Every structure is written in C-alpha cells, then in structure tokens.
Amino acid sequence: MKFTKSFDAPNPIPAKGISNAVSLMKNGMLYRYGHIDSDINFDGDNSPHANESEVSKLELAFSDYTGHKYVIAVNSCGSAMFIALKAMGVQPNDKVFTNAFTFTAVPSSIVHANAIPVYVECNDQYVIDIEHFEEQIKQNPDVKYFILSHMRGHVAELDKIQALCDRHEIRLIEDCAHGLGKRWNPDDSDHDNFVGHHCEIACYSAQSHKMLNSGEGGFIATNDEQLAAYCILAAGSYEELYKKHLSRPMDDSLFENIKFEVPNFSLRMNNLTAAILRPQIDLIDERIASYKEKHDRLITILSDIDCINIPEPVDAAEHVGDSLQFNLVDFDRPHVDDFVKRCAGKGVKIQIFGTDDNARDFRNWKYSFDEIPDLNNTADIISCACDLRLPMTFTMDDIELLGAIIKEVIDEMINQEPSLLRVSSK
C-alpha cells in the first residue's frame, strides 16, 4: 500500500475569492483605507455595505460568525497576539503565562512585546495542566497576563481557567489559531459558546493550513470597546481612518482620546487578502463538518491498536480536527523514529513534536529563556506525540487508506520485534 496525496495541500480558494482578487488587482485598490467607493464594489454585490473596503466587510462578516462585537483584521495571528498584549498594557519585562506545548509564534509574540514567557505544562490531552497552572500562579504572583493556546485545536478546561484568571486578576487572551468554529459546549448553537469567548481578546489565523486560507492573515476579536479602539489604532489606523471600520465601537471619542498615545505598528490586513477570505466565511461550517467526519473515522480505525493512544477531549470541549495527534504508548525514541520512517516510506507524512528542529518543541525556543525550563511532563509527552495532517483535499477513501497503512506499519514492527505491544483482536 502506498499513499500518494500531499499532506501539505491547503484549502482551495473558492471561485468568488479568485474573482474578487482579480477585480481588485485590476483597479489596484489593495490598501484597506485607500479605496474609491465606486471602484471597490464587485459585480453583483448589492449588500448594504457594498461600497466599503474588502477588509471592513470581512471584519463584519467574521464578527457575525464568531459573535464578537468587534473584529480587527491584521497580517497574522502572531501580530494579533502581540497587539492584544499591548492593548492590555503589557510592559517591558512583564511576565506572561502561556502553554509549554504550542507553536513558536505564541511565545514569540510575548517576546515581541518585550515580555517574558512563563510556561505551563501540558497533560496527556495536549492541553495545559490545571494543577501546574495553579502552581505557577502561586510561584509567580506578579504574572497578570495569560495567552492560552488551543494548540492543534485541543481545548483546555476553559471554565476552570477563566475562574482561576478571574480569582487572581490575570487577563486572558485565547490563541484561537486552531479554534475557529469550535464550540465549548457542542450542544449549544449560540455563538457565545464558540471557543474564544472565555477571554478579553481572541486571536485567529488565516495561514494556509487553517480553517480560512489566505496564506497569511489574522484577526483580533473582542467585546471590549476600549480594547477594540486600541487594537484598531495599533494595527495601523491613523487620523480619522478608524471611521472606515464597520466592526468597531461607534463612539468616536474612544479613538480621539487615545490616538496620539497608541503606536501605529502597521500590521494591517490588505484588501487583496480580505477579498480571498471573505467568501470563505460561508464555508466554515461545511469545512468543519468535513474535517469532523474524516477525523472521527480515522480515530475509529486506529482505536483498536493497543500501542496508539488518542486522548479524549476534555468534558464540554468539541474537537474538530484538521489534523490528528496520537502518542505511541511504551515506544522508546528509536521505535518512534522507526515508525515515522516506515510510514514515510509508504507515503504517510507524520511529524514528532519533540524533535530538535520542530518549532513546537519548547526546548527550541532559546530566544525566550536563558536556561531551558524544567518541563519534564511536556517533554515526555511530545517526545512520542505524532502529528498527522488531514487536509480538506483528502477523501473518505484516503482516510481508510491512511488507517490501513498505519496499522500495516505497526504490524510489521511487531512481527519483527514481538516485545512491542500487539494490535488487539477486537
């Protein structure tokens, strides 16, 4: 058996996004504040805001989907987190809690704000360990900020985390790069139960391997009018350009009172990026359903392999996977490497998080510490944690083949070395 499809294929851009982008390139109105009303309206757009810029219309559409009052589109999720920290008042050498298991962009945003990351261990569900978080709070009572990352879409115990943050006056930001459309309570259809509503600011990504694909892009979402005003100005609004935002506080005094005190970091999204993204908003739920079907099917296929552990999500959390993570139980590192190599030989690309070149291994974030932090639990978990992307381009037949190949590799390894755990007969 051999798998032949690419594991790096992003979601395709819908036809409407392509036509929007072509129209923009023809009239050249790519700067979000530079459009001429009569030139920005695409053929057939009869909406009330048809003559507004693409970025402003995208922000409004994103706000309508997530249920946040205010949305600011920026050039990346990393920029969104950086601006969020600045909006909350983070000062040089302030400390900020964040996950030990996440992507390097998260601690990098903290360092970008001249602050210092303080890492919280993950547990075997790939989310932060609540007990260790409580220990870190006791040991670091001066830390008043927390970027909580929903790494690879794994959602932590949000109610408990929010309660701890409230009790200790810790300001919470959610990194929802992998959280768009995921629900904290799957049985409740209200958008207020989306991930991203337990915090003051939620940050989202539109990088190629996320739910929305523009290559690069990000969003800041909040219900706080003062934070929204700061973020709009910091992202790159000046003079009275804030008035061109549709998803903003409509009290102009919020902007006028602070606009000369807020740095312009010029991290805006442009109209071309927004034109590609806006038609994808209507596809989010469809994409979620497709990801969920494939993700759940692959879990079912692999569930009878004793040496593979696929953690259950925490209670009340919905996991909609555009990738699958699992641990190889009782495999030492040479066996893990052998498993990955054998899968690669059959066309199945699997990464291990805990490697010396993986941007998700905290030990590689040397820019953020003088000495490698003592995070033994996270190190142990990621050392055998497998990461398997499941692009939208995969079919259900592809999922069946993936599962069969992984089973075949495990069987081969067991046949050659019977001491390894066997595939059960159930």
- pLDDT tens digit string along 242-298? 999 999 999 999 999 999 999 999 999 999 999 999 999 999 999 999 999 999 999
- 313 and 155 Cβ atoms separated by less than 8 Å: yes
**41 pLDDT above the threshold of 60:** no
What the block records as the tokens of 426 is 């159930």
**37 pLDDT above the threshold of 90:** no
Q: Which of 22-31, 181-190, 359-368 has the lowest mean pLDDT?
A: 181-190
pLDDT at 417: 83
Q: Which residues contact 335 (CB under 8 A, 6 or more apart)?
A: 328, 413, 420
Kindly state the average pLDDT of the residues 103-130.
97
- 276 and 214 Cβ atoms separated by less than 8 Å: yes
DSSP per position, 80-124: HHHHHHHHTT--TT-EEEEESSS-THHHHHHHHTT-EEEEE-B-T
Q: Could you tell me whether strands 385-389 and 70-74 are parallel, antiparallel, or unpaired per DSSP bridges?
A: unpaired
C-alpha to C-alpha distance for 199 and 195, rounded to whole angstroms: 9
* The amino acid at 162: Q
**425 pLDDT above the threshold of 50:** no
Nearest Cα to 108, choosing from 149, 140, 138? 149
C-alpha to C-alpha distance for 147 and 217, rounded to whole angstroms: 19
Instruction: Tell me which of 188 and 18 has the higher pLDDT.
Output: 18
**426 pLDDT above the threshold of 80:** no
pLDDT at 38: 46
Nearest Cα to 84, choosing from 230, 214, 212? 230
Nearest Cα to 264, choosing from 280, 292, 242, 295? 242
- Which CA distances in Å does 415 have to 40, 343, 404, 423? 64, 16, 16, 11
What the block records as the tokens of 86 is 């600045």
pLDDT at 319: 78
Nearest Cα to 160, choosing from 143, 168, 181? 168
Tens of pLDDT, residue by residue over 208-248, are 999 999 999 999 999 999 999 999 999 999 999 999 999 99
C-alpha to C-alpha distance for 294 and 308, rounded to whole angstroms: 18
The contacts found for 33-41 with CB under 8 angstroms, 24 or more apart, are 33/237, 33/241, 33/244, 35/271, 40/271
Task: Tally the residues of the chain.
Answer: 426
pLDDT at 46: 63
What the block records as the tokens of 281 is 């908003």
Kindly state the average pLDDT of the residues 187-200.
81
pLDDT band at 422 (very low <50, low <70, confident <90, very high): very low
pLDDT at 66: 96
pLDDT band at 418 (very low <50, low <70, confident <90, very high): confident
User: In the block, which residue shows the tokens 């036509």?
Assistant: 19
pLDDT at 240: 96
DSSP state of 113: T
Side-by-side strand order, sheet with 351-352? 308-309, 323-328, 385-389, 351-352
Q: Which residues contact 391 (CB under 8 A, 6 or more apart)?
A: 5, 6, 7, 8, 9, 10, 11, 322
Kindly state the average pLDDT of the residues 319-334.
89
Q: How far apart are the first and last CA of the chain?
A: 23
User: In the block, which residue shows the tokens 């996320």?
Assistant: 210
**419 pLDDT above the threshold of 80:** no
**88 pLDDT above the threshold of 50:** yes
- 325 and 299 Cβ atoms separated by less than 8 Å: no
Nearest Cα to 42, choosing from 58, 63, 62, 59? 58
Domains in the chain: ranges and CATH: 15-282 (3.40.640.10), 284-416 (3.90.1150.10)
- 406 and 348 Cβ atoms separated by less than 8 Å: yes
Side-by-side strand order, sheet with 171-175? 70-74, 218-222, 201-205, 171-175, 145-149, 95-99, 116-120
Q: Which residues, listed in sequence order, are joined to residue 171 by a DSSP beta bridge?
A: 145
pLDDT at 190: 65
DSSP state of 183: B
Instruction: Tell me which of 347 and 421 has the higher pLDDT.
Output: 347
CB atoms within 10 A of CB 171: 20
- 135 and 183 Cβ atoms separated by less than 8 Å: no
Instruction: Tell me which of 315 and 423 has the higher pLDDT.
Output: 315
pLDDT at 198: 95
pLDDT band at 185 (very low <50, low <70, confident <90, very high): confident
pLDDT band at 423 (very low <50, low <70, confident <90, very high): very low
**424 pLDDT above the threshold of 80:** no
pLDDT at 193: 83
Alpha helices in 113-209, H assignment, sequence order: 130-139, 158-167
Q: Which of 43-52, 159-168, 364-373 has the lowest mean pLDDT?
A: 43-52
pLDDT at 35: 63
pLDDT at 315: 83
